[in-house]
Each structure stands twice: as C-alpha cells, then as structure tokens.
Chains A and B, each alone.
Chain A
C-alpha cells in the first residue's frame, strides 16, 4: 500500500456527527457529535435512558441513525465490523448452550481474520478453570467473563463495552478493569458505557456525559468529576427568598419545596457559612453529595435554558 497516511492508519476510531435516533415519540439520541481517537479510552457516562446504548448500537451498525452519520476507522460501521476490527460486549445477553466455554470462544474466534489464541483470551478473562464447563452451567459473574472473552478473542482494534460490570461481583470487577488497563496499554481503543462516575474516573482518559439524548459535557475525567461532584444543601427555611439564596457565595442554584429549600452548591463550605450567618433560623440542615442523576438533570437543565 502506498501513501504514508494509510500506513499509519486513520487517527480517528469513531466519528459521529449530528447523530440522532428516535423510537416512536421518544427521541433517544438528539444530534450528538462524538469523536474517539485511536488508542483512547473513553467513558460514556450517564443515567439509564440517557441514550448511551442507542448511541453504541448506531456505532456498531446494529441500528440505523435517523439523522447524522457515524464512521468507524474512517468508514461505515458495517465495513469495520466486516473487517473484524471491532469487538463488543453488549448490554444484555446470555450465552448459547450445549458448548463448553473453550468451544464457545473458539467458535467466535473462527469468525475473525486475526483472533487471539483461545487460551490467551481465557487467561486474560480468568476463565482457565472453567474452560471445560458447559455454558449453561455458569454463574452470572462467570457468564459476564465469557461475554468479555467473546468480545476480546476477536483481537479488535476498537473494543466497545456497554455497562460491562453490571452483573459482576467485586472481585470480578477488579480483575475486569485490570484486564482493561492491560488492553489499553496495548494501544486498543476502548469505549465503555457506565453509570458509575468512579469507573469513568478510574479507568478512562476522557468522559463523555450524556443525559436525555444529548452530550452535556465532554472532557478529561477530572473536569467532569468537578462538574458533577457538586453538593446540595437542604434546610427548612420558610422565610427566605429564592433570589436572595441564589446569591449566597458558593451557591449555583436555589429551589424551594414547600417549607424546604434546596441549594445546589459549587462550594458547599462557603455556602453553609453564609447561609447560617444570614438565616440563623435555618434548621434540619442536610449536606449531601449530589448524585450523578441530579447532576445530570442540572446539566441538561442548564443546556436547554
């Protein structure tokens, strides 16, 4: 092959432009732009129903976008899939029965042009001791490992995992992420969906936040963590005006639920000091880390207003 660019390969693994998908009246994905560079590990972070799985399905060519386009390694998804460049662990799924773990993995390996050795795929996923076990006799956690091995044995350049650790126990998760680190260090491109901020923080170079079908933030995980790591203060305080509360130092937004007020804070320490100084009558005070879910809602609210 001639041409230096071709030899180096395209630097972009996934490139989505104005991608959208609707199911009936529900707009699952509303015009997102997503870029994943080759060799990058990216977390797709968001609550249930954010559009993560729909996005992944479109990247894999499992469903057709209603608007926009997506390319994988510079071509249509079907081309990358046909060339065996992509391995994926879909969100839900069981295994087919009446085969041993080793046979199932070998069966999948036979479909790809340059698969890993079946033995290596099993070693990477900690399946050695279950190699001869029939797939229908595995536990939930073991099944997840086999599904991971099925995604890996294709020896893909791009690995896509949709909520991979959901059914795993603590030990399973630990060894799973260890394997992922190992794969990332071999230069694989990895895109994984999760609703755990900690997973995104610990294992991704970058996090893409989705909520209600939109990308609401996209950046290094540290930055994302600061954005969604906000705290809220709740207190019973019938007399205070919302405008006044919102202007307190460290407070980004104020809301009222009957007698109670809810302050979203960028700096809860400054906010609580100012609040008590100004409104000593405040009682039933609670300070809590905002859940991802709440942080997402806030970010989407900010986006749409």
Chain B
C-alpha cells in the first residue's frame, strides 16, 4: 500500500510544528548572518581556501539539516508515548512503509532548510554555477543518511521528555566536531577525531562548490559505515520496542 498520502499528512504536521522552525530554520539562519555577515569579504577562511559566506552557509546547512533529520526522532518518541505507534501497527501500514514515510518527511524538511540557507548564502554573495549547487546538494543528501537512521534510533530509545535536550545537545556537539563553526586545523586531535564523524563530511560537501572533491575514500567509508551501523541499531531498537508492547 502506498504511504504517500500518509507522508503528506506527516509533512503537514511537521510544517505546523513550531519546534521545527526554531531549530531547523530560524536558528541556523540567524547564526549564519551573525557569523558570516561580518566576514562577507573574507575569501579564504582560516586557510581553508573557502570564502566565509560559502563555508558558513554549508556549515549552517549541516546544522539545520541535521536538526531536521533528527527531529523525526522527536516525532517518533511522542507518537510512541501517545500510543499512536500501536494504533498504526494494527493498520495495514507496514513498518517498512512507516519508516519510509518518516525518512522521506525528514529529508523534505532538510531540503527546505537547505533551500532557505542557500537563499541566505546568495544574499551574502555566494555565487555558484547551477551544476555545483546541484552536486553540493546531492553530497549533502547522501551525507545525511546516517542522521536519518540516528533519528529513528533515538526516537525508539528515548522518551518525549529526554529527547528534546538530547537532540539539542547532540546536534550542537556534532556541528562543533564537524567544523560548522570554524574550519578544523589539520593535524589536531579534533581533526583526527572529526574525520570519523559523519557531521564532518557533511560540512566538507562545501568543497564541491569549489569544483574539488568533497570526500576521499575515507569519507565515503565513514558515511556508509555509520549509516549501516545506525540503521541496524535502529532496526533493533524498533523491534525491541514493539515486541514489548
């Protein structure tokens, strides 16, 4: 059975949720203008070879889209608490279709967050050929895959009360380690650690905009590895969660 109409209502609900606007849209937009605004003429941010408006645009996109992807966890946690997950389990909607709807909704919200920040970036002088916008977007979409799984995992592990702080703190930490706030200096401990964290590779997608390669083999491996591990854990958490009910 097609889950498309279901996804449509799911999307409508999410768009009406104030939380989403604050974390995934308003917050990154405000931060972007606060941080990148004063440095709009900096064409080589801390030796990264990337202009400040472009670097921070992608950094804030990473922040906003991570929030958007993980917010599916908040929705799952509240649906579980409300008994809605049980109600769905006695409908013909399969678990697979249920998760497809969740992931699709999360991605659409992430794309919205991305589009808004691209407009902000353009207003600070980010100019790229269409093909590079598209390539960068594609890299970010791929880089978000581990976060789709992480959102579902957390949604089945945490309660509605604990998931808010967990997501807020988690996204801030992931963004910091990923280099959202400033480019990480090579040969530092943080850099060495960050290269194993998927948020780092998300931010690295901005290299594509300069015509370079976003990820080396390690990047692909880290993103694929986290996606597989988190998806397996999410599956286990879902099974354990629903078996107990």
Say whether A113 contacts B92, CB under 8 Å.
yes
| B91 interface residue per 8 A CB criterion | yes
Q: How far is the CA of A135 from the CA of B221 in the complex (A)?
A: 44
Identity of the chain B residue whose Cβ is nearest the Cβ of A96 in the assembled complex: B84
What residues of A have a CB within 8 angstroms of the CB of B82 in the complex? 93-96
| A218 interface residue per 8 A CB criterion | no
Contacting residues of chain B (58-99) with chain A, CB-CB under 8 angstroms: 78-79, 81-84, 86-94
Select A99's contact among B5, B9, B90, B92, beta carbons within 8 Å.
B9
Identity of the chain A residue whose Cβ is nearest the Cβ of B3 in the assembled complex: A111
Say whether B91 contacts A112, CB under 8 Å.
yes
Closest CB of chain A to B109's CB: distance in Å?
13
Q: How far is the CA of A62 from the CA of B17 in the complex (A)?
A: 30
Say whether B83 contacts A93, CB under 8 Å.
yes
Q: Which of A35-43, A84-92, A203-211, A292-300 contacts B (4 or more CB under 8 A)?
A: A84-92
| B245 interface residue per 8 A CB criterion | yes
Contacting residues of chain A (274-291) with chain B, CB-CB under 8 angstroms: none
Say whether A93 contacts B86, CB under 8 Å.
yes
Q: How far is the CA of A133 from the CA of B35 in the complex (A)?
A: 41
| B187 interface residue per 8 A CB criterion | no
Say whether A94 contacts B83, CB under 8 Å.
yes
Q: Mark B1-21, 1 if CB is under 8 A from A, else 0.
A: 100011001101110110000
Q: Which of A2-10, A25-33, A101-109, A223-231 contacts B (4 or more CB under 8 A)?
A: A101-109
Q: How far is the CA of A106 from the CA of B87 in the complex (A)?
A: 15
| A264 interface residue per 8 A CB criterion | no
Say whether A108 contacts B12, CB under 8 Å.
no
Say whether B84 contacts A95, CB under 8 Å.
yes
Closest CB of chain B to A202's CB: distance in Å?
27
| A98 interface residue per 8 A CB criterion | yes
What residues of B have a CB within 8 angstroms of the CB of A81 in the complex? 89-92
Select B86's contact among A62, A86, A111, beta carbons within 8 Å.
A62
Identity of the chain A residue whose Cβ is nearest the Cβ of B10 in the assembled complex: A107
Say whether A111 contacts B245, CB under 8 Å.
no
| A222 interface residue per 8 A CB criterion | no
Closest CB of chain A to B173's CB: distance in Å?
28
Say whether A103 contacts B12, CB under 8 Å.
yes
| A49 interface residue per 8 A CB criterion | no
What residues of B have a CB within 8 angstroms of the CB of A262 in the complex? none
Q: How far is the CA of A61 from the CA of B10 in the complex (A)?
A: 25
Say whether A98 contacts B84, CB under 8 Å.
no
What residues of B have a CB within 8 angstroms of the CB of A106 in the complex? 5, 9
| A150 interface residue per 8 A CB criterion | yes
Say whether A110 contacts B5, CB under 8 Å.
yes
Identity of the chain A residue whose Cβ is nearest the Cβ of B91 in the assembled complex: A111
Identity of the chain B residue whose Cβ is nearest the Cβ of A112 in the assembled complex: B92
Q: How far is the CA of A167 from the CA of B179 in the complex (A)?
A: 52
Q: How far is the CA of A179 from the CA of B86 in the complex (A)?
A: 24
What residues of A have a CB within 8 angstroms of the CB of B84 in the complex? 93-96
Say whether B92 contacts A90, CB under 8 Å.
no
Closest CB of chain A to B4's CB: distance in Å?
8
Say whether A62 contacts B89, CB under 8 Å.
yes
Say whether A110 contacts B6, CB under 8 Å.
yes
Q: How far is the CA of A183 from the CA of B12 in the complex (A)?
A: 32
Known pairs A107-B5, A110-B5, A111-B1; A97 contacts B93 (CB<8 A)? no
| A266 interface residue per 8 A CB criterion | no
Q: How far is the CA of A104 from the CA of B1 in the complex (A)?
A: 18
What residues of A have a CB within 8 angstroms of the CB of B12 in the complex? 98-99, 103
| A125 interface residue per 8 A CB criterion | no
Closest CB of chain B to A76's CB: distance in Å?
14
| A82 interface residue per 8 A CB criterion | yes
A-B pairs, 4 with minimum CB distance: A93-B83, A110-B5, A94-B82, A107-B9
Q: A96-B13, A99-B9, A99-B16 are in contact. List 13 more A-B contacts (CB 8 A).
A: A60-B90, A62-B89, A62-B90, A63-B245, A88-B90, A93-B83, A94-B84, A99-B13, A106-B5, A106-B9, A111-B6, A111-B92, A112-B92
Provide 13 A-B residue pairs closer than 8 Å at the C-beta atoms, listed in order of the A residue.
A60-B90, A81-B90, A81-B92, A84-B91, A90-B87, A93-B82, A94-B81, A94-B82, A96-B13, A99-B9, A107-B10, A112-B92, A113-B92
Interface residues of A (CB under 8 A from B): 57, 60-63, 81-84, 86, 88, 90, 92-99, 103-104, 106-108, 110-113, 150, 154
